[in-house]
């Protein structure tokens, strides 16, 4: 009945290899950005694709793969809490504006924690702006205090931000961003 079995092959547990339903569930949440801020939506989709590519290159196991890829897709979900005009601002941000923007990681963590099956993604959402030198936010973690997948997400998130058109900065070429 349209099934093939290969002698000696032990398939992985379906939940480990099939994350497509999780992707659909998270994309449904991200679709809220379609009306509020299309650039955050497209940025999230690009970072998601980078995460897939890097996961394959590094041959991450299925648990790390799921966590990294889904975390990359949903990393900026907390920006749904920000005012639309703040997301589209092209002038220099005030200190209050900047603090408001930075709070998206905390809001995002709360959104993710509200869904039992995505709780393991909370560190990626909360810590993707931490920096290896300790100058990131929200906690100022540095070096190994930042979980490996969060450090990886910071790299691809930053790479996409540098190579995408933004009103407040000059777009870098791929080689400049690297």
Q: Cα–Cα distance between 161 and 32 in angstroms, integer?
A: 20
Question: Hey, what's the torsion of the CAs at 15, 61, 153, 41, to 10 degrees?
Answer: -30
Q: Cα–Cα distance between 56 and 64 in angstroms, integer?
A: 11
Inter-axis angle of helices 95-102 and 104-113, to 10 degrees?
A: 20
Beta bridge partners of 169: 166
Q: Cα–Cα distance between 122 and 6 in angstroms, integer?
A: 38
Reference 138, options 105, 98, 91; nearest CA is 105
Q: Residue 71 — pLDDT band, cuts 50, 70, 90? A: very high
pTM attached to this predicted model:
0.83
pLDDT in tens, 32-47: 877 788 889 999 999 9
50, two tokens: 């980078």
Contact 112, 125 (CB under 8 A): yes
Q: Cα–Cα distance between 126 and 40 in angstroms, integer?
A: 16
**From the CB of residue 25, how many other CB atoms can be counted at a distance below 10 Å?**
15
Q: How far is CA 67 from CA 44, 58, 110, 134, in A?
A: 15, 14, 17, 24
What percent of the chain has pLDDT above 90? Answer: 61
pLDDT score at 13:
43
């Amino acid at each position: 009945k349209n099934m093939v079995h290969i002698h000696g092959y032990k398939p992985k547990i379906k939940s480990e290899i099939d994350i497509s339903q999780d992707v659909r569930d998270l994309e449904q949440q991200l679709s809220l950005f379609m009306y509020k801020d299309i650039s955050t939506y497209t940025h999230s989709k690009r970072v998601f694709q980078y995460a897939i590519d890097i996961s394959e290159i590094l041959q991450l196991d299925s648990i790390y793969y799921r966590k990294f890829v889904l975390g990359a897709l949903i990393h900026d979900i907390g920006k749904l809490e920000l005012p639309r005009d703040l997301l589209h601002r092209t002038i220099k941000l005030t200190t209050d504006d900047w603090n408001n923007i930075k709070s998206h990681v905390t809001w995002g963590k709360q959104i993710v924690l509200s869904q039992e099956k995505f709780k393991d993604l909370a560190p990626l959402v909360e810590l993707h702006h931490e920096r290896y030198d300790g100058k990131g936010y929200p906690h100022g973690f540095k070096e190994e205090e930042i979980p490996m997948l969060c450090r990886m997400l910071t790299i691809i998130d930053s790479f996409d931000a540098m190579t995408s058109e933004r009103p407040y900065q000059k777009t870098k070429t791929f080689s400049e961003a690297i």
